[in-house]
Amino acid sequence: MSRQGFGGASVHFSPSILGNGSSPTDLTEEDLDALRFELTKTEDEIQALRQVLLAKEQYAADIRRQLGMSPLGNIKQSISKGWQEVQTSAPYLTASATLDDISHSSVYVRTRDSLSHAGQVTSAAMSSVGVVITRRLAQMSCNPITVEHLAISSSSCCCNPCGNRS
């Protein structure tokens, strides 16, 4: 049986080589030599292709540099192109349409409005609590507590905001 090699030459193997699970002991010495030769040749071709690819990449980088294109610009362009591809992909368009439908549904609108109203009411309540606490602290700082009476004395005030004598 023959197989087309990478270089275009036919390589002949016995049928035992081509079966699944054949062990090296099933191969003839001629088959082993042919496989070793083919492996060496393939690895050499891979190395040559890597060198050619590296040279081409360096050449492309030199051209980009001459054109004033920076690696950061290339990354930016690549990301932009990728994002455009995502935005035009079927899954993205489907998900976008679904989210658009949800955001315009009556349940979503009612829930959004209810949560917004609850947030406003909570904010107003917290603001009122803050004002009450601030007033009470101001009153407490103006009205010293005596140890003997443990009562707030309104006749002796140390600060003007209370409106009492200083």
pTM: 0.34
- Tell me what pLDDT residue 45 has: 98
- Tell me what pLDDT residue 166 has: 45
Coil vs helix vs strand at 11? strand
Kindly give, in sequence order, each residue whose CB lies less than 8 Å from that of residue 163, ignoring residues fewer than 6 positions away.
Answer: 157
pLDDT reading at 62 higher than 60 = yes
Q: How far is CA 29 from the centre of its chain?
A: 55
Using an 8 Å Cβ cutoff, are 2 and 38 in contact?
Answer: no
Lowest mean pLDDT among 60-69, 101-110, 126-135, 149-158: 149-158
Q: What is the residue whose two structure tokens read 């990478």?
A: 6
pLDDT reading at 77 higher than 70 = yes
Domain boundaries, the chain: 1-69, 74-104, 106-166
Lowest mean pLDDT among 30-34, 122-126, 138-142: 138-142
Give start and end residues of each alpha helix (H) in the chain.
15-18, 29-66, 71-87, 90-103, 106-142
